């Protein structure tokens, strides 16, 4: 297919989809609004101080807190004509540091050999993780979430660098499974997982990015690169999966495109049979 060809091409790896779901970004960008008087527990159950309720703004603040801090139960009580909010914290924040390391390691160990949804092999997950940590990348994009194996490796690295991943998946079932996996692995708070067609979502993302992993429909790799490369920061890298061995026309065209970019240095890591191209911006 030539660069910029029409959108009739099938999505490899997209699986049989009966219905397309349009872009539905999950709002992971909400920042928790600090709430005075709340006793934050790391894990377990905690009861906060009563907060006098000023209904509208206070509710918004708590909605943010719920999104970012786990499960909260709000008890509303009325005392002497004043309405009070009693926040009850029944689940903790996402773990960090060594606690997170143990949780991710345990999850990956338990799931070893069970990644059957076109997921990357462990060695490629490790490769992506190490690249991010080595270069201290923080603004990451993944095209093709599937059930989240590579996303977990990427987000684990970003937890160490203070970064965040946006990942895009077309298949609603895989997207749902990925969300559950991200949560179970302990990395959900580092990920903005979007359901929808990357052909539409990716060009609309503002960037900038310093790490991109392309692993969705191979015949669209060049178009993804064309859309994203201008938004890759200097020193940042655009990586792509399945570029080794006998490659499809789409991949061959993509590699030629990346190698011809005047401001990119492209190498191919073949430590796994799939092969990962790494194009870094000079
Ligand atoms: C090779 S798998 C990704 C594996 C994933 N990176 C991992 O290692 O866990 C490719 C995924 O891209 C998705 N996909 C294909 N075309 C897409 C598109 N146009 N937009 C979004 N996702 C797409 C497929 O549904 C599939 O789940």
**Closest Cα partner for 244 from 221, 272, 225?**
272
**Closest Cα partner for 242 from 255, 260, 259?**
255
- Ligand 1 pocket: which of 14, 121, 126, 248 to mutate (most atoms within 8 A of CB): 14
Do 209 and 89 fall into the same domain? no
Do 227 and 118 fall into the same domain? yes
Structure tokens at 175: 């997207």
Residue whose CA is closest, atom 7 of ligand 1? 119
Give the integer Cα–Cα distance in Å for 7 and 51.
54
- Residue 169 CA to its chain's centroid (Å): 10
pTM here?
0.73
Do 236 and 141 fall into the same domain? yes
Instruction: Check if 124 has its Cβ closer than 6 Å to any atom of ligand 1.
Output: no
Tens digit of each residue's pLDDT, the chain (282 residues): 333 333 333 344 433 332 233 333 333 333 322 222 222 223 333 334 444 444 443 333 333 333 333 444 444 545 555 655 554 434 456 788 999 999 999 999 999 999 999 999 999 999 999 999 999 999 999 999 999 999 999 999 999 999 999 999 999 999 999 999 999 999 999 999 999 999 999 999 999 999 999 999 999 999 999 999 999 999 999 999 999 999 999 999 999 999 999 999 999 999 988 999 999 999
In a domain, 68, yes or no: yes
Q: Is the dihedral of CA 67, 69, 75, 77 positive or negative?
A: negative
How many domains are contained in the chain? 2
Do 73 and 117 fall into the same domain? no
Rounded to the nearest angstrom, the distance between the alpha carbon of 137 and the centre of ligand 1 is 22
Domain CATH code at residue 188? 3.40.50.150
Instruction: Check if 14 has its Cβ closer than 6 Å to any atom of ligand 1.
Output: yes
Do 88 and 112 fall into the same domain? no
């Amino acid at each position: 297919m030539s660069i910029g060809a029409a959108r009739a091409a099938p999505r490899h790896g997209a699986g049989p989809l009966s219905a397309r779901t349009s872009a539905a970004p999950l709002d992971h960008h909400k920042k928790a609004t600090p709430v005075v008087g709340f006793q934050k527990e790391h894990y377990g159950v905690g009861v906060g101080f009563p907060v006098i309720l000023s209904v509208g703004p206070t509710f918004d603040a708590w909605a943010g807190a719920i999104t970012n801090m786990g499960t909260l139960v709000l008890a509303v009580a009325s005392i002497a004509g004043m309405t009070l909010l009693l926040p009850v914290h029944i689940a903790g924040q996402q773990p960090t540091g060594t606690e997170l390391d143990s949780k991710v390691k345990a999850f990956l160990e338990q799931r070893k050999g069970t990644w059957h949804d076109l997921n990357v092999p462990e060695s490629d997950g490790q490769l992506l993780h190490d690249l991010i940590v080595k270069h201290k990348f923080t603004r990451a994009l993944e095209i093709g979430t599937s059930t989240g194996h590579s996303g977990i490796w990427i987000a684990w690295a970003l937890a160490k660098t203070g970064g965040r991943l946006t990942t895009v998946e077309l298949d609603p079932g895989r997207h749902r499974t990925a969300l559950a996996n991200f949560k179970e692995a302990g990395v959900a708070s580092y990920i903005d997982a979007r359901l929808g067609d990357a052909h539409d979502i990716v060009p609309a993302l503002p960037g900038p990015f310093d790490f991109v992993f392309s692993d969705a429909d191979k015949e669209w790799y060049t178009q993804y690169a064309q859309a994203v490369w201008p938004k890759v920061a200097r020193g940042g890298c655009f990586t792509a999966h399945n570029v080794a061995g006998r490659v499809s026309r789409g991949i061959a065209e993509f590699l030629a495109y990346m190698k011809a970019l005047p401001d990119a240095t492209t190498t191919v890591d073949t430590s796994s049979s799939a092969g990962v191209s790494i194009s870094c911006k000079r």
